[in-house]
Structure 1
Amino acid sequence: MIWIKLLLYISIIFVINIIVSFLLSYSFRIKKEKRSFFSYNHVNELHKKMDWTFRFVFMMILIVVNILVIIEDYSIQLYIYTSLFYAVLDFIVRAFFEYKYSNNPKQSILTISNGIVFSLGLLIVSDYLLDYLG
């Protein structure tokens, strides 16, 4: 039963994200950029270098957090908040580079809205999972 509810929460968050993106792109007349779903869409070389450096640093931090959670018995919330921090920072960096260096700076509005919906969704899902597991 937990997996059905979890899938329902994720589906609702996905639909809300689509609706918010549609309304914002219609309101601000933002042209839709074609992006692959699982690809690295860097605005320029500086963004690419920063993104990969950030990913590497986060991977090291995540290893330390895993050790703390598994061996030192820290709460699983540390892992969730670390992941949330990474996601928020990633969306902020992407929005900054889209605003400053992109041909379509209005795209940063959609990036910020996607980041907000994703972060709130992650908080809701993690709260649900923590209530169920803990």
Structure 2
Amino acid sequence: MYDEIVPLIWLKLVLVLCIFGVVLYIFNSMMRKLLKVEKKKFLSYNHINATHKKVDWTIRILIIVCLFVGLFINVQNDFSDGYWFLETYFLLFLFIILSEIATAFMEWKYAENKNAYLFTIFQLLFIVAFLLIMFASDFFGLIKS
């Protein structure tokens, strides 16, 4: 029974993530046209200047350190006694938010196209809303409590 359920959960999860990817792509395309923002390179850092690069890497390094600290602290505790703010999902959520806020600030302050920061903020709000809905709904019912 267990062998039949686990692959089905993974299949549903991959399906939800693929649907999210398509919806995010459509959302980004519409927002780019609306705000007249050029497309960034896929999977690149897109730093505005040297200051942005330093801030971005500082955030990345701090999150990685927190991930390791959280791992060591939460492994020593019972599963129910772990610190929620050191859990991987929370730290990755925090990383996304801090990184995109830093990017939006740097775009607002230094970018040639001033609408770039609006695009980054709308994209961040879309992703955060999706992630909150996913966690609040137990991944749309895929994870049964």
Deviations 1:51-99 (A, max 9, x none): 1111111111111111233221316783212211111111111111111
1:132 is paired with a residue of what secondary structure?
A: coil
Output the amino acid matched with 1:111. Answer: T
Residue 33 in structure 1 maps to residue 42 in structure 2: no
- Cα distance in 1 for partners of 2:68, 2:144 equals 22
**What's the CA shift for 1:21?**
1.7
- Cα distance in 1 for partners of 2:141, 2:70 equals 17
- Cα distance in 1 for partners of 2:134, 2:76 equals 25
Q: TM-score, normalised by structure 2?
A: 0.77
Residue correspondences, number: 132
Instruction: Point out where structure 1 has 5 or more consecutive residues left out of the alignment.
Output: none
**What's the CA shift for 1:24?**
1.9
Map 1:1-134; keep pairs closer than 5 Å: 1-28=8-35, 30-35=36-41, 37-73=42-78, 74=82, 78-126=87-135, 127-128=138-139, 132=143
Q: Which has the higher contact order (CA 8 A, sep 6+)?
A: 1
Structure 1 contact 99–108 (Cα < 8 Å) conserved: yes
**Range with bigger deviation, 90-99 or 9-18:** 9-18
**Range with bigger deviation, 104-113 or 69-78:** 69-78
**Range with bigger deviation, 113-122 or 71-80:** 71-80
Q: TM-score, normalised by structure 1?
A: 0.82
Larger-gyration structure (1/2) = 2
- Cα distance in 2 for partners of 1:125, 1:51 equals 26
Structure 2 contact 12–142 (Cα < 8 Å) conserved: no
**What's the CA shift for 1:120?**
2.7
1:82–1:34 CA distance, 2 compared to 1 (3 A): closer
Instruction: Point out where structure 2 has 5 or more consecutive residues left out of the alignment.
Output: 1-7
**Range with bigger deviation, 2-11 or 69-78:** 69-78
